[in-house]
Each structure stands twice: as C-alpha cells, then as structure tokens.
Structure 1
Amino acid sequence: MKQFDVISRYRQGESYRHIARELGIDRKTVKAICDRYKKGIDALNSSKSEQEVEEATEQLVLTRSYDSSKRRTRAYTPAVEARMKELYQQELKKNKRLGPHKQALTAIAVHELLAEEGHPIGYRTVAHYWRQLKQKTREAFIRQEYPLGYRVEFDFGEVKLEIAGKVRTYHLAVFASPASDFYWAYLYTNQKQDVFQEAHVQFFEMVGGVYQEVVYDNMRNVVTRFIGRSEKELNESLIKLSLYYGFEINVTNCFSGHEKGTVEGRVKHIRRQCFSKSYQFSSTEAARDHLTQQLIRLNQKSQIVEEKQYLLTYRPPFELAEMVQCRVNKYSIIQYETNAYSVPDYLVGHTVQLKVYPEYFVVYANHEEVCRHKKIEGSHQYQLDIYHYLKTLMKKPGALKHSLVLKHSPDLKALYALYYKERPREFLDKLDQYQALPKEQLMAQLSQTASDKSSRSLSQEAEAITEAIEADWQRLNVIYGLERVK
C-alpha cells in the first residue's frame, strides 16, 4: 500500500522529504520507488513495439504489501455498523407503527442481539455508537463541480434480457463523467476482476485518453478487505491498472452512494432508456449493438469532444491476462473452471498454458499458440473441435461414428450419416483436405463431393445392369436359334 501512496503523492507534486515525513518511511526508499516509476513511464512513452510496451508495463506494475500483524482488531467493523443501522431503521418503523410506547430497543438489547449473532463487541462500544445513531442530525451535502477531464465514476448494474428465447442476467459496466455529462456502458455476463479490468481498457480506448480520477464504491473488485473502520486495502489488479494509466483511485465511504451519484443515476437511466422497451434479442452481440446505438443517441448533448482535450495522455491498451496451466487428459481435453475444451491430440499427457481474457482464452504449448476457445456460458459443458482429433481418427476411423466430438458438430454428423457412414476414412480425408475453408464452404464441398460420387456410382451400376440384360438376351437368342454363335 505504501508504494502506491508514495507514487500517488509524487504525482501530486509532493517532495521526497515531505512524502517520507508524512508516511514515516526513509527518504531513500521514497526516491527509489519514484525513480522506478519514472523509469517505467519513460520506457512506456518511448516504446515502439509490443514487447517494449510489455516490459515497460512490468516496470510500472509494482507489488505492495501491508503489515497488519501488530494492528489490533477493531470490534466496530463495517458489518457491525451496517447491522446497527439496520436495527435503528427497524426501530424507527416500530415507533411509527406503535406510537408512544415503552418497548424501546436499548443499547443493552442491541448488544445482546449482536452477541447472539456472533459479533465480538463490548457493551460500551455498542452504547457509544447507538447513542450517536439516535442523536444523528440530518446530513448536509456540499454540491460539487468538477473541471473537464478530472473525474469519472464507475459502477456495475444488472439488467435482465431475453436472448434467443432464454432469460439471462447481464451486468452493465458503466462509466459516467459529471463534468461533460458523458456516459458509456457495456454488457458483460459477469462482474469478475478480468471483466472489471477489461471495462476500463475498453473505456479508455473509446475516449482516447484517461481521466485524472476514477471513483468507485466499496465493491470487491476495488477493496480487498477493510482494515479498521476507515482504512481499506485496495485490490492489487486495480492498483496495477492505476499505475499503468496514471489515474488516481477514489473510493467512497461505506453506505454513501451519493458520493458517486452521477453514475448511480446513469445506471438507472441506461436501464430505463435502453432496455425497458427492447429486451428481446437474438444474441448477446445484438444486445450490445443495440446498447451502443442507444448510447450514441443519449450522448448527443454531452461535452465529450471538449473534454477529450483535458484527458491524460493516451497509452496503449493495458494487457495483463491471467496465465493458467492445465494438464491435457487422455481424451485430449483440458478443464478450465467448470467446462471442458479440446486441444490437438498430440498434446495428450502434456501441460499447456492458457492466456485467459474475459470472453476467450488462447492455448500455448512450448510458447506457440495451438488453439483458442470462446468461453462457455454455463458449467459442465464441452467445446470440442473435430480437427483436434484428425490424427487419432485416421488411425481409428471406426471410432468416429459414436464419438462425442462428432455429436458436438450436428451439421457434420448429419452429413456423415447421409453420405459417409460406410466410408469414415474418406470423410476424414475430406475434412483434412478442406479444413482451411470456412464452415459453410466446407459443408457445401463435402455435400457436393458425396453427391457427385453417388451419381457416378448409380451410373456405373445402371451400365452394369444394362450389360447383364444384353448378355442374357444374346444367350436366349442362341438357345432358340435366333442368332448364330460367333
């Protein structure tokens, strides 16, 4: 955490001495951190190839640690605070319902409830905060006005859509700028860390720059854990993203959605304007296209063109895909998360590397790409490619008929059953011969070849029958003396 604090203060213009004094660390340590950061920035700005960008990114992405071994555990945790606020709201409803009464929920009763629920907190602490809740006056808000390019707010929102006849829940990743009134959104199937990161990269690419500050609530993608009541340990992936692009991280207080009210309102606005009337789509891509077109319409009055002049300098897309190792089983299949994917059959028994992106992954063996798969939506499903098994099937053509890989290609299976069920090796030869063709052309070529061969076979059979009939007539003519034997 201190490395990120040092860089954040350095970017705000504080001196090494002042940073060291404020954070309680050695000035040489501060200088070393800042020098490494400056070196990474210089390397990134002068990068001329993807490899140089990757090396510069590694220079910028600093790891951090927080030593909390000597910190005493705080009893008044965010969970306790939330529970006490819930009890207080219930108490207000009870007072409104009953009117004047003598069954008030006292601090003693609150302490007993918390203890029964497993919260290790003392009575004096409960009494102190319960008294504060009861005496709390109505909160005043200070209206904010931000300059162009300074602040953008982020949040996730849910939307239910009917895709190809099936109802699914999608997650809207939304960015909103309070200064320019510009907002952007994208539909994802989940809100995991890789999706959270991908949304940032897409947004910065789309606007062609970076805002000075990005504001978040206390979602898991942002806060790894709470340390005491006010301190938070930020997610390491978010810190790497911040160091690369150069934006500041602003996390709102707990239960304070108004601190990022612009994006809160925009999530509701997008849901109402884009999906209240249109919610049925043929595919996820169709729904995303619809959202893109609607956002163009909704952003017509924004000041995004003017704001782009004030954004931080554009940088190449940040890429830090997750690297995963998988063992290839005897069926030439790897297991990723809860689904199964095929790889070329020569890799059976080997370990391969997966470079995982939000919607697909690339498989590498010996540092060479061997295949890639789109991630399956769902669990305990298969994604198999028949070309991954050609080498084995050539040796065992009889295994094709009942193979799982053929079953998972309904079009090919129907074609095989219609034309090639007695000639599996020929079918495999044709697949190998035409595998460079797009699927539609492949199917057409396989059908045409089979039809031509079938026509030739019928013609040859007809000729053989005709010849046999003529021979029989000749023999009968000889028997009855109608024709001389030559």
Structure 2
Amino acid sequence: IRRKAFAHRDTFTSLEEAQAYLTEIIMRLNSRKHYKKNQTHHELMLEERAARQVSADIIPFDASELFEFRVDKYSTITYRQNRYSVPEGHVGEWVKVKASAEKILIFSDNACIATHKRSWQIHQWIMDIYHYLRTFEKKKGALAQSECLSQAPTKIKKLYKDYYIGNERDFLELLIYLKEHNNLEKIIVAVEQLEKNPMVQISTDKIIFLANQCEHIHKTVHSKNEVTTQSLENLSAITALFETKKTGVLH
C-alpha cells in the first residue's frame, strides 16, 4: 500500500490531504478484481465480514499510545514537547493519556475529561477555553489577551470581538451557558435574530433567552410561515424590554 500510494506522490499541504489521497488510492485498489476470483476485493471483504459476524464481533484496530502524566500548575499535561489543557480541578493529579495520530484523549477515573486535536509541532500550547472559566471569573482582564481565546472557535472569537470587548463578565456568562448546553449554533441564530432589530441592545441575557425560545420553536414548528416570522419578531420586541445598559468590565 505504501509503495502503490506514496511512490507516486509524497508531498502534501496537510495531514488531512494526505489521508484523503491515501483513501482514494485504497478505494481504487479495492475496486480491482481478485486475480483468482471474479470479484473485487471490496466484495470479498463484505462476504468475509458477513461470515465473521455470526461467530465473533469485529473490533476496530486502535493505533494509540497510552501514558500516565501528572497535571501541572497550569492545568496542562506535556506530551512529546507539547502542552494540552486539562479542565480545572485536576492540578497535581495523575491522568491517563491516549494519544493517536489525530487526537489526544485525557482520562481521569476512567472518564474522558478532555479531547484535543494532536499537534505535530513542538513547544505548542493546545488550550480549550472551557477548561479555564473559573480562572477567568477571578481574572476577567486576562481573558482578552489569553491564549485560550486566541485558540477558541472562530464563531466564539467573533462574538467577543463584535459584542463583548470591555464586557468580559457577560462574555464569561455566555461561555458558561455554552459549556453547559453545547448549543453554539442556536446562540449564533439568536444573535442574528437580534441584529435584525436595531432598537435592541445585544446582551447575554437576551441571547440566552432567545436561544431557549428558538429551541422550543424548532421543536414545535416544522415549516416557516407568516405566523412563525411574526412570532420571532414579537420575541425580539420582548427582549427590548430587558435592561439595555451595558455593564463595564470588572478587572
């Protein structure tokens, strides 16, 4: 496989591109007919899999390394000269790390507490902003220039840049809500809905309120019509009744 794939091409811009190329080569090879049988390798594989299912389960091959590391004072573990963040509350504890070619999984008491995309560089800090929310609650002024925010998802960084610069306290409230509900897309939809009404001052309370309402609407309404549109406009008007004065950042 290595010769048939990478003897023809061995330069790629990313690991993902190399994986896609390898998959294409494998699919091409498996579509050829076996030299002794009038069937493709893919068809023979399906037959073998069906025959094995009646006798034993097929367990996927897992190429990973297993280690045990102590969480340092920065709430990170160091694996191959890179630091990966661990949720607060585990400093000084020993955790198990499962490292594959793509992911770093961190376990404590047999529960996965953190998942990171593996970095193949060196001396990198791979941080998850949700792992440090309690620290930022005590040091709100450190959030703006933090490595955690710079590595946060693009949509979260855009929310901060557009609506929360200088108002880190409300931004942290939104992050805590996102961590608990894992509904970033609903938050984005709520913000877009609030932007349609220029009379409404966008704040965390309004975003969360409308996100919860949107969730209820999506569960009960199956098609967009005039009633739905008018209901959303009414919700936007209701949110305008909330306090619209911004609260300054507390450092």
Q: What's the TM-score, normalizing by structure 2?
A: 0.60
Of 360, 378, 383, which residue of structure 1 is paired with 2:126? 383
Kindly report which structure 2 residues correspond to 1:168-183, keeping only aligned pairs within 5 A, or say none.
174=1
Residue 355 of structure 1: aligned partner: 98
| 1:398 and 2:132 are equivalent in the alignment | no
C-alpha separation in 1, matches of 2:135 and 2:13:
43
User: Residue 354 of structure 1 aligns to a residue in which SS?
Assistant: strand
Q: CA offset at residue 398 of structure 1?
A: 1.8
Residue 291 of structure 1: aligned partner: 25
Where relative contact order (Cα < 8 A, 6+ residues apart) is larger, the structure is 2
C-alpha separation in 1, matches of 2:197 and 2:108:
40
User: Residue 95 of structure 2 aligns to a residue in which SS?
Assistant: strand
- Percent identical pairs in the alignment equals 26
Name structure 1 gaps, 5 residues minimum: 1-173, 175-266, 461-486
| 1:420 and 2:164 are equivalent in the alignment | yes
Name structure 2 gaps, 5 residues minimum: 203-236, 241-251
Provide closer, same or farther for how the CA distance between residues 417 and 280 of structure 1 changes in structure 2, counting only shifts above 3 A: closer
CA RMSD of aligned residues (A): 3.9
| 1:444 and 2:188 are equivalent in the alignment | yes
Provide closer, same or farther for how the CA distance between residues 361 and 409 of structure 1 changes in structure 2, counting only shifts above 3 A: closer
Q: CA offset at residue 450 of structure 1?
A: 7.1
Residue 150 of structure 2: aligned partner: 407
Kindly report which structure 2 residues correspond to 1:7-86, keeping only aligned pairs within 5 A, or say none.
none
Residue 74 of structure 2: aligned partner: 331
Q: CA offset at residue 410 of structure 1?
A: 6.2
Kindly report which structure 2 residues correspond to 1:84-99, keeping only aligned pairs within 5 A, or say none.
none
Aligned length: 190
Q: Which amino acid aligns with 2:33?
A: Q
1:16-69 CA-partner distances (Å, limit 9, x unpaired)? xxxxxxxxxxxxxxxxxxxxxxxxxxxxxxxxxxxxxxxxxxxxxxxxxxxxxx
C-alpha separation in 1, matches of 2:27 and 2:63:
30
Provide closer, same or farther for how the CA distance between residues 338 and 396 of structure 1 changes in structure 2, counting only shifts above 3 A: same
User: Residue 200 of structure 2 aligns to a residue in which SS?
Assistant: helix
| 1:300 and 2:45 are equivalent in the alignment | no
Contact 2:5–2:22 (8 Å) recurs in 1 = no
Kindly report which structure 2 residues correspond to 1:45-444, keeping only aligned pairs within 5 A, or say none.
174=1, 267-271=2-6, 275=8, 283-297=17-31, 299-302=32-35, 303=37, 304=41, 305=44, 308=48, 316-317=58-59, 321-409=64-152, 411=154, 412-435=156-179, 436-437=181-182, 441=185, 444=188
Provide closer, same or farther for how the CA distance between residues 415 and 294 of structure 1 changes in structure 2, counting only shifts above 3 A: same
Contact 1:434–1:442 (8 Å) recurs in 2 = no
Contact 1:323–1:356 (8 Å) recurs in 2 = yes
Residue 249 of structure 2: aligned partner: none
Q: CA offset at residue 367 of structure 1?
A: 2.7
Provide closer, same or farther for how the CA distance between residues 356 and 308 of structure 1 changes in structure 2, counting only shifts above 3 A: same
